[in-house]
Structure 1
Amino acid sequence: MFTYAPLMATLHKRKISKVDLQKLTKISSSTLAKIGKDEFVSMKVLNEICDVLHCEIEDIIAHVKEEDHQS
């Protein structure tokens, strides 16, 4: 599975709220909720976040093995 924990850490380091991210990227509140629940969001959204934050994909998403996540 994938987690957006790196995104939350990146936002925290930069003192950017999720609401600010939503305004900067113009993503919907439902997409922001999906990110909060580690659910699927499109590559287009991930690209927009990377562009706005001037960061790499690994700064916003990470892969976690299912058995590691469930422990």
Structure 2
Amino acid sequence: MIRLIVYSPFWDTLKKSNESTYTLINHHHISSSTLDKLRKNKPLNTTTINDLCRILNCQIQDIAKYLPNEEDQFL
């Protein structure tokens, strides 16, 4: 399965912040399953993306990136 939304920007943003996976889980109550979804580029809901932007004081493009693909379904 080809992923069109990837979360590689999130990991770069996290490294540049004062936060860590530990603080996200223990201080901000982001679940470990959410972090696993980020690692595996699995779908996230917009509420979670909003929470991450708020916690990391960043924009959505600092969390996720859309990668166009020739195999996208025709709309």
What TM-score, normalized by structure 1, do the two folds share? 0.80
Amino acid at match of 2:23: D
Q: Which amino acid aligns with 2:29?
A: K
Q: Would you identify which runs of 4 or more consecutive aligned residues in structure 1 move more than 6 Å?
A: none
Aligned residues: 67
Post-superposition CA distance 1:10-48 (Å, at most 9, x none): 111225322222334312111110111000011000000
The structure richer in helix per residue is 1
The sequence identity of aligned pairs, in percent, is 34
How far apart, in 2, do the equivalents of 1:29 and 1:56 lie? 22
Larger radius of gyration: 2
Query: Which consecutive unaligned segments of at least 5 residues does structure 1 have?
Result: none
User: Structure 2 unaligned runs (5+)?
Assistant: 71-75
Normalising by structure 2, what TM-score?
Answer: 0.76
Aligned-residue CA RMSD (Å): 1.6
The answer to whether the 8 Å contact 1:24/1:52 transfers is no
Residue 18 in structure 1 maps to residue 21 in structure 2: yes
